[in-house]
């Protein structure tokens, strides 16, 4: 089936540093989503991308929809301790609201 590979699997950074993570797929998606999940909680939607090449920001977060439609990246600038969590990318095919999730990137921010 479809598989989304996220990298890196985990990151340990200092507060104030910038972070970059990406997500690649063997197949095309029409929509890319980025979620953040805290332990024991549901994923929270951060950014949604709808067009190849689209670059979208949400505060300190910036995400891009790759032009091949098989990848996406998420950048976090000036990280803060509350950025800690697991970041998931998710892809959707056309006319299908279900999401296929990546395997997550665990972010740890040291104060």
Partner 1 sequence: AAGVIQSPRHLIKEKRETATLKCYPIPRHDTVYWYQQGPGQDPQFLISFYEKMQSDKGSIPDRFSAQQFSDYHSELNMSSLELGDSALYFCASSFYRAAEAFFGQGTRLTVV
Contact residues for partner 1, defined by CB under 8 A: 31, 33, 35, 40-45, 48, 50, 88, 92, 95-104
Closest separation in Å from C-beta 39 to partner 1: 10
- Distance between CA atoms of residues 1 and 91, nearest Å: 13
Distance CA 92, CA 52 (A): 13
- At closest approach, how far in Å is the CB of 77 from partner 1? 23
Q: Which is nearer to partner 1, 44 or 78 (CB)?
A: 44
Work out how close the CB of 76 gets to partner 1 at its nearest, in angstroms, rounded to a whole number: 19
Neighbours of 90 (CB within 10 A): 21
CB of 14 or CB of 94, closer to partner 1: 94
Burial of 89 by CB count in 10 Å (0-12 exposed, 13-18 middle, 19+ buried)? buried
Nearer to partner 1, 3 or 78 (CB): 3
Q: Which is nearer to partner 1, 28 or 78 (CB)?
A: 28
Q: Minimum Å distance from CB 89 to partner 1?
A: 9
């Amino acid at each position: 089936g479809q598989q989304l590979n996220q990298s890196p699997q985990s990151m340990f950074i200092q507060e104030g540093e910038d972070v970059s993570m990406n997500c690649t797929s063997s197949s095309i998606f029409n929509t890319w989503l980025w979620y953040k999940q805290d332990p024991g909680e549901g994923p929270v939607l951060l950014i949604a991308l709808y067009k190849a090449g689209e670059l979208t920001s949400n505060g300190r977060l910036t995400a891009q929809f790759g032009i091949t439609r098989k990848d996406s990246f998420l950048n976090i600038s000036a990280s803060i301790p509350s950025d800690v969590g697991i970041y998931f990318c998710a892809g959707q095919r056309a006319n299908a609201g279900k999401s296929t999730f990546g395997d997550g990137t665990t972010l740890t921010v040291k104060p």
